[in-house]
Chain A
Amino acid sequence: MTELSAHLPQFQHGQLTENFPDNHLSNTNDHSERRRHDNSERRRNDNPESETNGQPQNNTQQVVEQDEEEDEELTLKYGAKHVIMLFVPVTLCMVVVVATIKSVSFYTRKDGQLIYTPFTEETETVGQRALNSILNAAIMISVIIVMTILLVVLYKYRCYKVIHGWLIISSLLLLFFFSFIYLGEVFKTYNVAMDYITVALMIWNFGVVGMICIHWKGPLRLQQAYLIMISALMALVFIKYLPEWTAWLILAVISVYDLIAVLCPKGPLRMLVETAQERNETLFPALIYSSTMIWLVNMAEEDPEAQRKASKNSTYDKQAPANQTQNEDAEADDGGFSQEWQQQRDNRIGPIESTPESRAAVQALPSNSQTSEDPEERGVKLGLGDFIFYSVLVGKASATASGDWNTTLACFVAILIGLCLTLLLLAIFKKALPALPISITFGLVFYFATDNLVQPFMDQLAFHQFYI
Chain B
Amino acid sequence: MGAAVFFGCAGIAFGPALALVLLTVAAEPLRVIVLVAGAFFWLVSLLLASLIWFVSVHLSDREDAKLQYGLLVFGAAVSVLLQEAFRFAYFKLLKKADEGLATISEDGRSPISLRQMAYVSGLSFGIISGVFSVINILADSIGPGIVGIHGDSPYYFITSAFLTMALVLLHTFWGVIFFDACEKRRYWCLGLVVASHLLTSGLVSL
Say if A and B assemble together. Answer: yes
| Residues of the A chain whose Cβ atoms lie less than 8 Å from the Cβ of B79 | 468
CB pair B83 A467 closer than 8 Å: no
Taking a contact as CB atoms closer than 8 A, the residue among B49, B72, B111 that contacts A464 in the complex is B72
Instruction: List residues of chain A with CB within 8 A of the CB of B43.
Output: 410, 413-414, 446, 450
Which B residues lie within 8 Å of A449 (CB)?
Answer: 47, 50-51
- List B residues 109-164 near A (Cβ within 8 Å): 111, 128-129, 131-137, 139, 156, 159-160, 163-164
Q: List chain B residues, Cβ under 8 A from A452.
A: 54
A414 / chain B contacts, CB cutoff of 8 Å: 40, 43
Set A84, A405, A450: member contacting B136, Cβ < 8 A? A405
Interchain pairs with CB closer than 8 A, number: 123
Rounded to whole Å, the gap between the CB of A183 and the closest CB of chain B is 25
Evaluate whether A409 and B139 lie within 8 angstroms (CB atoms) in the complex, with A417-B37, A467-B167 already known. no
Closest CB in chain A relative to B106 CB, distance in Å: 7
A406–B131 alpha-carbon span in the complex (Å): 8
Among B4-12, B172-180, B198-206, the stretch in contact with A: B198-206
A328 vs B111: C-alpha distance when bound (angstroms): 63
Indicate whether B100 reaches chain A with its CB closer than 8 angstroms.
yes
Q: Bound complex: CA of A465 vs CA of B133, how far in Å?
A: 9
Contact size range, A: 35 or more
Interface string of A64-84 (1 = CB under 8 A from B): 000000100111110011011
Complex CA distance for A465 and B156, rounded to whole angstroms:
9
Q: Is the interface of A mostly helix, strand, loop or mixed?
A: helix
A24 to B164, CA, bound (A): 48
How many chain B residues touch A (CB < 8 A): the figure is 50
* Chain B contacts for A410, CB-based, 8 A: 43
Per the 8 Å Cβ criterion, residues 409-468 of A in contact with B are 409-410, 413-414, 416-417, 420, 446, 449-450, 452-454, 456-462, 464-468
Interface residue? A404 (CB, 8 A): yes
CB distance from B152 to the nearest CB of A (A): 9
**Cβ 8 A contact of A409, one of B32, B73, B131, B160:** B131
A423 to chain B, nearest CB (A): 10
Asked if B194 is at the interface of the complex by the 8 Å CB criterion, the answer is no
Q: Which residues of A contact B111 (CB under 8 A)?
A: 77
Interchain CB contact under 8 A, B156 and A80? no
Contacts A405-B136, A413-B36, A453-B54 known; A466 to B104 CB distance under 8 Å?
A: no
* Complex CA distance for A420 and B40, rounded to whole angstroms: 11
Q: Is the CB of B76 within 8 A of A466?
A: yes
Q: Is A87 engaged at the interface, CB distance under 8 Å to the other chain?
A: yes
On whether A467 and B163 interact (CB within 8 A), knowing A73-B106, A81-B29, A453-B51, the answer reads yes
CA distance A409 to B46 in the complex (A): 13
Q: Let me know if B80 is at the binding interface, CB within 8 A.
A: yes
Interface residues of B in 179-206 (CB under 8 A from A): 200-201, 204-205
Per the bound structure, the CA–CA distance linking A420 and B75 in Å amounts to 31
CB<8 Å pairs between A and B, sample of 20: A76-B104, A80-B33, A84-B29, A405-B135, A409-B131, A413-B128, A414-B43, A450-B43, A454-B47, A454-B132, A457-B46, A457-B75, A459-B136, A462-B133, A464-B205, A466-B73, A466-B205, A467-B204, A468-B49, A468-B133
Give the 7 A-B CB pairs with smallest separation, nearest first: A457-B50, A80-B29, A84-B29, A453-B50, A405-B135, A454-B50, A417-B40
Given contacts A416-B36, A465-B159, A467-B204, 12 further A-B contacts (CB under 8 A): A75-B104, A76-B100, A80-B30, A414-B43, A417-B36, A446-B47, A453-B54, A461-B72, A464-B72, A464-B205, A466-B201, A466-B204
